[in-house]
Amino acid sequence: MAIGTALVVASVTGIGVAAAQPIQATPDPDPFYSAPADLGGAAPGDVLKTRQLPPVPALINTDVQQIMFRSTNSAGAPIAATTTLLLPRGYSPDAPVVSYQHIINGLGVHCTPSRALYTANPFEWIWETPGLNSALQQGWVVALPDHLGPQSAYGAARLGAHITLDGVRAVQRSQFGLGGSPVTLAGYSGGGMTTLFAAALAPRYAPEIRLLGAAAGGVPTNLERLVSMIDDQPHPAFGLAFAAAIGLEREYPHRFPTSRHLSPAGHALATQLRDGCTQDLLNAGSNLGIADVAPGASIVGTPEALGVLHENSLRFAPETPTAPVYMWHSRNDSIIPYDDAAATAGRYCAGGTPVQFDTVGAEDHVQAAVEGAGPAMAYLESLVRGQPAPSNC
């Protein structure tokens, strides 16, 4: 599913139990994920440490490395982030690199791609494994960033863009011979949102990256719209929305103080979900509404909270990609509105970005992921071969 069927913002005026601090995830017990003490002395994208991981059975003839690198959070402070590097055996120096922003619906550190690779079902979406294998079999290197960051800040798309771009920098500064690699970006739904934000921020944040283009489908581009869709009515995916409110507070504790306004029941639910992944969030929040966690509260009660939503909404963000973009979306998508994605593509076109926006005939959000995956990969392959980017602007 997407980053959330909607983003219910509990950082609102209303009654509730005050919480002194955001409800954080349980720290990862693996010492590899601990940031070094001298983090502030590193530049964004600098490699902090690496390690080899076991092969992933679902990925063919592939070695796995993990890289910790220095990145920057939404407040400009240094953070340590990680990306998992999939290296096809026998790859060439400066092979194409695709950074794939996997969908992460979760608040716990174990929900990240670097952890999900080693679960019984390594990817939540079965179409991703064939897509990654397709890239690997062509000799491409794949980077899978843990783009929610060390606090699992679900919903913070700008943070994810920083981590994605710094992850590419780290890959190119690592010992794996990829310093001159052409780079593409890809992702679907919430991963697609991070992908497009990374493409839009790249000219300013990481202008040295040779970014050929980005492919993203089913992208939620208007978080305020998603809020209004769920409003105060019970919703089957409320748990995802509520998790995004918790995640945004982690990244914006002063501007988005979710926990300050929760009722006792809301605080108990937030505590229960602090480490939850997709199914945990869906099960615990099924058919709840804002009244169940913050009675008397509005959806967005302060200009600061609304500002956070706009800053993390591609439709409102001022930045525009300069590299070509491929987007796809189903008109039948009942989770992520089609017209917001189309309007965002139109804004990019108006800014001079070559955009190919395809409307697919899938019946829902999940089927659209499958239907668009092949054309998205073909689009990126054509850019790597040096072909002109198609555009239907």
**Per residue in 146-205, pLDDT tens?**
999 999 999 999 999 999 999 999 999 999 999 999 999 999 999 999 999 999 999 999
DSSP 3-state assignment of 111?
Answer: helix
How many beta carbons lie within 10 A of that of residue 347, not counting itself? 18
Average pLDDT of the chain is: 89
Are 348 and 316 in contact by the 8 Å Cβ rule? The answer is no
Beta pairing class for 211-217 and 325-330? parallel
| Pick from 1-5, 54-58, 247-251: least confident | 1-5
Task: Give me the mean pLDDT over the 217-229 stretch.
Answer: 84
Tell me if 197 sits within 8 A of 317, measured CB to CB: yes
Sign (positive/negative) of CA torsion 116, 120, 124, 125?
Answer: positive
Distance, in Å, from the CA atom of 326 to the CA atom of 358, rounded to the nearest integer, reads 8
pLDDT of residue 3: 35
Using the predicted structure, report yes or no on whether residue 120 has a pLDDT greater than 90.
no
List Cα–Cα distances, 375 to 189, 227, 327, 357, 367, in angstroms. Answer: 16, 31, 10, 11, 14
The pairing of beta strand 47-53 with beta strand 78-88 = unpaired
Six-digit token string for 10: 């509990």
Closest CA to 309 of 252, 237, 378: 252
Q: Does domain 1-393 have CATH number 3.40.50.1820?
A: yes
pLDDT of residue 228: 67
Compute φ and ψ for 176, nearest 5 degrees.
-100, 15
State the DSSP string of 329-389: EETT-SSS-HHHHHHHHHHHHHTT--EEEEEE--SSHHHHHHHHHHHHHHHHHHHHTTPPP
Most confident of 13-22, 208-217, 301-310, 330-339: 208-217
247 pLDDT more than 50: yes
Task: Specify the pTM.
Answer: 0.93
Under 8 Å between Cβ of 393 and 352: no
